Amino acid sequence: MKETWATFGADLHLDLTDGHGRAALERALREAIQSGRLHPGTRLPSSRALAQDLSLARNTIVEAYGQLVAEGWLTAVTGSGTHVAERAAEVHPPITTAVPTRAPRFDLRPGFPDLTTFPRAAWLTAARRALNTAPYEALGYGDPRGRPELREALAAYLSRARGVRTDADRIVVCSGFAQALPLLCRVLAARGGTTIAIENYGHGSHRDAAVASGLRPAPVALDSHGVIASALGDADAALLTPAHQFPLGMALAAARRTQVAGWAAEQGAVIIEDDYDGEFRYDRQAIGAMQALAPNHIVYAGTASKTLAPGLRLAWLVLPAHLVDDVASAKSMADGNSSSLDQLTMAEFITSGAYDRHVRRCRLLYRRRRDRLVSQLHGRFPISGVSAGLHAVVELPRDWSEDGVVARAADRGLALRGLSSFAMGAADRGPALVIGYGTPPAHAYTSALARLVATLSM
């Protein structure tokens, strides 16, 4: 029997397409009540009448009614029969979701690496080795600071490659910088901090994270040498990108690095050094981390989001000793600990040398991409910032509109982003584009560049 009309005063359509027993009847009655076809207070037929109408055993009807009474869908009173319960009348409207915006065909917005460079085979090899040798306790709830294998590997790598002064006990592994920054801000606010100085061009999400954590962002001006140390004022903390300012692209000058470190020591403040793409410098050897100048006042923040992929959700904080316990406690409250399997794989990936080899390959790839961008725009549109990272700033004529250029590019299927969209408050620089030459996959980069040139030639 596929469909049945139960006639008990008023016709009721019961869909028994998925069976002809008690369970099917229960599902059909629940659906009729949930959808509103059976209104609150409606009296159901007697078990005898419904059994006859549906050609079911009377006991089947009795048991189905009893189950639905127990669940609260029906009520049964001796002498009054069985009714639809009053509270079962609530009908929830369907959840509507926004129609997703169609993705652009080509994308030169900054903030992403080329995801096709992810070393799948090498990562799988590292994962197999890590899992084969991992102790069973690694699969449980562990130290909120992260797996000791990864913290040991990071301490050695960061010391060697980025000049960071640390040991494994001062490292906390996080689920991306998007988790690390709020953890730090909450700890600083809990310690009485009220203000965090933030470069006046940067990620809006970083400012939002500070506000949500109880800190007031204070914009700090930048010039061609980086953040102006004297403008840091009496802030309790500062979030800086000294190796490669995002998005303007300058490196913090040596004298400024010393001044900023001195400010932190004198003020008793904490600097958060966001070293988001420090491994990628093309015109010279990468500049070491500023953290080494004042390890008791500077938190070094690194991530695999640019070197490997954002989807790994792996970042790390190298903390002054006096912050370790508080940040570890905040991490424990947030999510306990990051994925142990990913941490073990990352540790193996680093210690085997695969991470260094991958970074070197990507450094060459991104350097060539940047060179092609410069070559395509040479003599027409200046490119500012040091030769580093995954993005470059392309300066536009003063009378051009960033929004206009972005709109013309969109008409060509190319996504761009203007410099002013990164400003904290009013933009104080001329029109420019922040070009993410690391974003497109290899097969799309040539076409993306061609569309950029065509857009700028109009």
Residue with tokens 């027409």: 380
Is 49 in the same domain as 197? no
In the listed set 356, 391, 420, which residue is the last one of a domain according to the structure? 356
> What integer pLDDT is reported at residue 9 of this predicted model?
44
17 is in which domain, residue-wise? 3-89
Domain identity same for 237 and 264: yes
> Which of 89, 108, 140 is a domain's end point?
89
- Least Cα distance to 134 among 144, 148, 155, 123 occurs for 148
Does the structure show a pLDDT above 60 at 91?
Answer: no
Do 310 and 336 have their domain in common?
A: yes
353-404 confidence digits (pLDDT tens)? 999 999 999 999 999 999 999 999 987 999 999 999 999 999 999 999 999 9
Do 320 and 374 have their domain in common?
no
**Average pLDDT for 432-444:** 95
Are residue 141 and residue 192 in the same domain, yes or no?
Answer: yes
Residue 80 lies in a domain: yes
| Torsion, CA 320, CA 325, CA 326, CA 331, rounded to 10 | 110
Q: Are 227 and 376 members of one domain? A: no
107 falls within a domain: no
Total domain count, the chain? 3
Nearest CA to 2 out of 26, 31, 28, 39 is that of 28
Any idea which of 81-90, 226-235, 244-253 has the lowest mean pLDDT?
81-90
Q: What is the CATH number of the domain that holds 7?
A: 1.10.10.10
In a domain, 99, yes or no: no
- Least-confidence region, from 40-49, 70-79, 95-104, 446-455: 95-104
Q: What is the mean pLDDT of the chain?
A: 91
Q: Are residues 295 and 159 in the same domain?
A: yes
> What is residue 39's predicted lDDT score, i.e. its pLDDT?
86
Residue 276 pLDDT grade (very low, low, confident, very high; cuts 50, 70, 90) = very high
131 and 251 in one domain? yes
98 within domain boundaries: no
- Segment 260-274 shows an average pLDDT of 96
User: Are residue 135 and residue 269 in the same domain, yes or no?
Assistant: yes
Segment 173-191 mean pLDDT: 96
For the whole model, what pTM was predicted?
A: 0.81
| pLDDT tens sequence across 117-163 | 999 999 999 999 999 999 999 989 889 999 999 999 999 999 999 99
Q: Are residues 30 and 155 in the same domain?
A: no
- The answer to whether residues 227 and 262 belong to one domain is yes
Check whether residue 257 and residue 305 sit in a common domain: yes
Mean pLDDT over 5-31 rounds to 69
CB atoms within 10 A of CB 135: 9
Residues 214 and 385: their CA atoms lie apart, in Å, by 33
Is residue 103 situated within a structural domain? no
Q: Strand pairing partners for 226?
A: 223
Considering 327, 356, 385, which residue would you say is the last residue of a domain? Answer: 356
CATH number, domain of 415, equals: 3.90.1150.10
